[in-house]
Amino acid sequence: MQRAVTDRIATAADDRAELIAGLRAERATIAPKHFYDPLGCALYAAICATPEYYPTRTEAAIFAGHAADIVARVGAGRTLVDLGAGDARKAQWWIPRLRPAAYVGVDYAAAELAAALERLDGAFPDLPLSGVVTDFGRGLDLRADLPPGDVAFFYPGSSIGNFAPDDALVLLRSLRAHAAPERRASLLIGVDTHKDARRLVAAYDDALGITAAFNRNVLNNVNALLGTAFDPAAFRHVALYDESLRRIEMHLEAAHEHVVLLDGTPRRFAPGERIHTENSYKYAPQDFARLLRRAGFATATWWTDAAGDFAVFHAA
């Protein structure tokens, strides 16, 4: 019963301009949404299987251990909106339990989203499915796209940590703004917690080098998007934890001088110069509950594993 995917990406030109400006900046950046070309998606799935990357299996254990309670709070018959759906495996686990009236996948990665919808269609042929390709980095407004009735946003995997707390607040407020007299809007979200820096860094710098490959691969995607000639092998993967900001940072560090042409103009990366590719903010559960309340949610309930490594929130 799959319906068409709506493409909300303004224009490829806007994306190019943003990428080029980020790469020309004195402190070069690439937004993490550019990780997810098909190889990037496959590498992300492999990261989730590494021994060091505890968030995925801890979140899954919290889901399994508290499923009945979570289902009771979310309620059946809602439209399930899967934010950063990726391969939609987590939503696929929840659909038979939450019995949504419809599923809407939202992702910047159009190819991954189309493949996920295809798979869900095979698994749940009677469920209305649709997709929205968009960048929700500055908030999300799906009010014109949603069928009537209550909505449950689902944002797993601690992806909210990619946004600085003020930007996370903008996104959370925009989700809350879908609530109206005729529509309840709730949120089920996975959040990684602040913990020992060594464990955090190991989760983003696994022994097999899969996260390093994931990080370097962003340059392949940049080459495809901009026609540049970045050599991924010329950059070293760096993962560090900034205790004061409570965030993991991922960077690509030039091993030696590297010059690329950006729209015909050379950009020189000096040895040791870094391109900042990702932040992943970590929260104490009480702090994230405060953020949800600031976003306008009246209630925030959370579940954690015994070690407190990860938290799953339901906000309504």
Ligand X SMILES: C[S@@+](CC[C@H](N)C(=O)[O-])C[C@H]1O[C@@H](n2cnc3c(N)ncnc32)[C@H](O)[C@@H]1O
**In the complex, least distance from residue 47 CB atom to ligand X, rounded to whole angstroms:** 9
CA distance 85 to 256: 37
User: Tokens in use for 147?
Assistant: 């069928």
Beta-strand ranges (E) seen in 134-208 are: 151-155, 185-192
Give residues in contact with ligand X (CB under 6 A).
Answer: 32-33, 36, 44, 84-86, 90, 107-109, 112, 135-137, 156-157, 159
Min. distance of Cβ 106 from ligand X in angstroms?
6
Q: How far is the CB of 146 from ligand X (least distance, A)?
A: 17
Q: Quote the tokens at residue 189.
A: 């979200």
Nearer of residues 91 and 234 to ligand X, judged by Cβ: 91
Q: Which two tokens stand for residue 3?
A: 């319906």
Least CB distance to ligand X at residue 133 (A)? 8
CA 177/CA 295 separation, integer angstroms = 9
| Shortest reach from residue 207's CB to ligand X, in Å | 20
Q: Which is nearer to ligand X, 156 or 285 (CB)?
A: 156
Q: Pick between residue 86 and residue 285 the one whose CB is nearest to ligand X.
A: 86
Q: How far is the CB of 268 from ligand X (least distance, A)?
A: 29
- Kind of pairing between the strands at 265-269 and 274-281: unpaired
CA distance 185 to 62: 22
Q: Which is nearer to ligand X, 53 or 269 (CB)?
A: 53
Q: CB-wise, 96 or 266, nearer to ligand X?
A: 96
As a whole number of angstroms, the distance between CA 237 and CA 298 comes to 41
DSSP three-state, residue 149: coil
Is 136 or 269 the residue whose CB approaches ligand X more closely? 136
* Closest distance of CB 185 from ligand X, Å: 18
CA of 24: how far to CAs of 17, 19, 30, 314, in Å?
10, 9, 10, 40
Closest to ligand X by CB, 32 vs 285, is 32
Q: Which is nearer to ligand X, 100 or 156 (CB)?
A: 156
Helix-, strand-, coil-residue percentages of the chain, each rounded to 5: 40, 30, 35
Least CB distance to ligand X at residue 149 (A): 23
- Give the chain's end-to-end CA distance (angstroms, integer): 29
DSSP for 210-274, please give it.
Answer: HHHHHHHHHHHHHHHHH-----GGGEEEEEEEETTTTEEEEEEEESS-EEEEETTEEEEEPTT-E
